[in-house]
Amino acid sequence: MGFRSEVMAKQKTAFVCIECGAEYSKWQGQCSACKQWNSVQEVRLGAVSNKSSGAGRTGFAGALTQQVQDLSEISLEDLPRFSSTFSEFDRVLGGGLVPGSAILLGGHPGAGKSTLLLQTACKLAQLMKVLYVTGEESLQQVAMRAQRLGLPTQGLKMLAETSIEKLLAVAEVEKPQVLIVDSIQTMQLDDLQSAPGGVAQVRESAAYLTRFAKQTNTVLFLVGHVTKDGSLAGPKVLEHMIDASLLLEGDGDSRFRTLRGHKNRFGAVNELGVFAMLETGLKEVKNPSAIFLSRDEEPAAGSVVMATWEGTRPLLVEVQALVDESALGNPRRVAVGLDTNRLSLLLAVLHRHGGIFTGDQDVFVNVVGGVKVLETGADLAALMAIVSSLRNQPLSPELMIIGEVGLSGEIRPVPSGQERIREAAKHGFKRALVPKGNVPKEKPAGMEVIGVTRLSEALEAL
């Protein structure tokens, strides 16, 4: 027993790179993983569980005795959920908030992360206990924003703190049902020597907050920053330890924001929620297809509508193409909202199996509204928009196109094709050019559905 106590009392240390999170047994000047100099720092492991730490005094970090259960005896009842007060937010979360879940919300500066969570916190505070912890702003700044947005502030508990030990001590006293930490990059553990925002601090802080949420059935929201390429800043293990990873996207000059789920243990991945940024904060958009279809009254060449599948619902978006004679030896291929590499592939298929040459043309393709189409169901629509722009022949504004294009020129079916066709019919489209495998047995009333199997057939149909 004495030997065990002596081993547990030892301070274990490790050397961690604050840039990439690589661990070493001893200090070295350059990290061999990311090649950064002077980025390896010594951190102490397991120090927070000592009796001298705040977390140890509060008692939440003590090991819980879990009973071993047989898999067949585990209850299969649905997890209890409650609404976030935003239906679009609930959609991305998979139906609402689950007690004990840890949710990471990321986004570029100014995207509206703090605004969305403050609106959610103020509304939930009228129904349950909510604790909002701010590490970046003062309490007065948060209060000014709430007043500017006209939010109900009665009942929302606020705390300005960056110490994890003090934060959790307050949380154990308040016992909130929802805990919001803005942001995880500003939090720090007193026993770690690295600066706030470093790999070690972010990893350990998130681990203690997530453990607290699981043991107390508290819904935990963590606000995270993103890097230049749009990925979440900090160690990759941060995304593994949380239950849901959401990304709020939107340009500063656009009034629309899209909330996309990149990971969700309680719902569908790649679910999309659409919000509009107004003077009173973020307002959810009930019918996102309508806002992305604000087209000109006069048809223009190079424009066509497609139905993409986002999570559990179809979304109608406009795909635009511009083909112009190139003055460069190497013509440009630019795609916004689509994969640029796939654009080059589609142009090669168009030349080989459609007989249309674009090797001396600059080709630009754009998805209107800032939507990112990550699926291959946009292949046929992009090619038809390119052909329309090249020939300067407008396509019918009542036409919707879906389909994946293969390397041999075949048109492959897309998932949930019938739901996409019904969504187009609901918005007044009269014609649909789709893969033959997606042609429904019962066509929507007043809509002509054209099924094609080859790229040449699609070109003839237009």
Among 56, 60, 52, CA closest to 172:
60
Going from the C-alpha of 462 to that of each of 296, 379, 452, 458, the distances in angstroms are: 21, 16, 11, 7
Asked if pLDDT for residue 54 goes beyond 60, the answer is no
> Mind giving me the DSSP string for 35-102?
--BT-EEEEEESGGGSTTSHHHHHTTTSPP-PPP--GGGS--PPPP-B--S-HHHHHHHTSSB-TT-E
pLDDT digits (tens, 9 = 90+) for 399-424: 999 999 999 999 999 999 999 999 99
| Strand partners for 433 | 401, 450
Query: Quick one: pLDDT band at residue 102, thresholds 50, 70, 90?
Result: very high
The mean of the pLDDT values for the chain is 87
Q: Judge contact between 46 and 8, C-beta under 8 A.
A: no
Phi, psi angles (nearest 5°) of residue 160: -105, 105
Interatomic CA distance for residues 334 and 189, integer angstroms: 45
Interatomic CA distance for residues 455 and 432, integer angstroms: 15
pLDDT digits (tens, 9 = 90+) for 183-239: 899 999 988 877 888 788 888 899 999 999 999 999 999 999 887 766 776 667 788
Query: Quick one: pLDDT band at residue 269, thresholds 50, 70, 90?
Result: confident
Among 124, 114, 177, 178, CA closest to 155:
124
Cβ neighbours, 10 Å, residue 259: 28
Q: Where are the beta strands (DSSP E) in 46-177?
A: 102-107, 130-134, 157-160
pTM: 0.76
Which is more confidently placed, 264 or 79?
264
Cβ neighbours, 10 Å, residue 306: 27
Q: Give the per-residue pLDDT at 229.
A: 67
Interatomic CA distance for residues 303 and 366, integer angstroms: 10
DSSP single-letter state for residue 188: B
- What's the token pair of residue 170? 């307050």
Going from the C-alpha of 431 to that of each of 323, 412, 461, the distances in angstroms are: 25, 19, 11
- What's the token pair of residue 447? 């809509």
